[in-house]
């Protein structure tokens, strides 16, 4: 399926003005978080989008943007959605694309987002003794370097 055919199909699945085609083999779709899972299910069924390349998070200041990158042999489709920082909840797409679980766990660890209905919500990247409420990819996160202890050094 070429870009034009994909765009035509996507335009039947989402509201007008939410599909962009900035470069060959690159298509962007903007969706409301409430419609995310339904769109991903339709893309999987109708566009054969079953492979998640990655899921990225971006701290935009007042909101988080989440980008779901789907790929095939002819290009990629990126689904964008935004959630407010005051209520950072996003539905899991693991019911449709089971391989998304690792990327969604990363969103929880690094941004503190709540991924609803995630099959395995355990922390994945951060150590067991990582302080609660510290999320390293947030813009407001500050790293407090611990005092360096040099064996045999001055006391």
For the chain of 155 residues, list the mean pLDDT of each consecutive stretch of 10.
90 90 92 96 92 95 95 91 95 96 94 93 82 84 74 69
List strands edge to edge, sheet with 75-84.
19-23, 26-30, 75-84, 63-72, 52-59
Q: Cα separations (Å) of 49 from 72, 104, 116, 140, 145?
A: 7, 18, 22, 35, 43
Position 155 scores a pLDDT of 60
Query: Per this entry, what is the length of the chain?
Result: 155
Q: What pLDDT score was predicted for residue 97? A: 95
Tell me the pTM. Answer: 0.87
Q: Specify the pairing of strand 63-72 against strand 89-91.
A: unpaired
Q: What is the pLDDT of residue 17?
A: 87
> What are the structural domains of the chain?
3-116 (3.30.460.80)
């Amino acid at each position: 399926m070429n870009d034009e055919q994909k765009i035509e199909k996507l335009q039947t699945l989402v509201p007008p003005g939410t599909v962009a085609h900035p470069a060959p083999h690159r298509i962007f779709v903007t969706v409301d978080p409430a419609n995310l899972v339904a769109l991903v299910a339709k893309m999987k069924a109708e566009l054969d989008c079953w492979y998640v390349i990655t899921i990225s998070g971006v701290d935009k200041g007042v909101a988080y943007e989440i980008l779901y990158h789907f790929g095939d042999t002819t290009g990629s489709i990126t689904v964008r959605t935004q959630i407010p920082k005051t209520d950072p909840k996003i539905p899991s797409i693991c019911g449709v694309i089971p391989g998304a679980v690792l990327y969604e766990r990363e969103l929880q660890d690094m941004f503190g987002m709540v991924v609803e209905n995630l099959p395995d919500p355990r922390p994945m990247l951060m150590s067991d003794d990582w302080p609660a409420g510290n999320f390293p990819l947030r813009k407001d996160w500050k790293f407090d370097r611990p005092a360096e202890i040099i064996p045999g050094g001055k006391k």
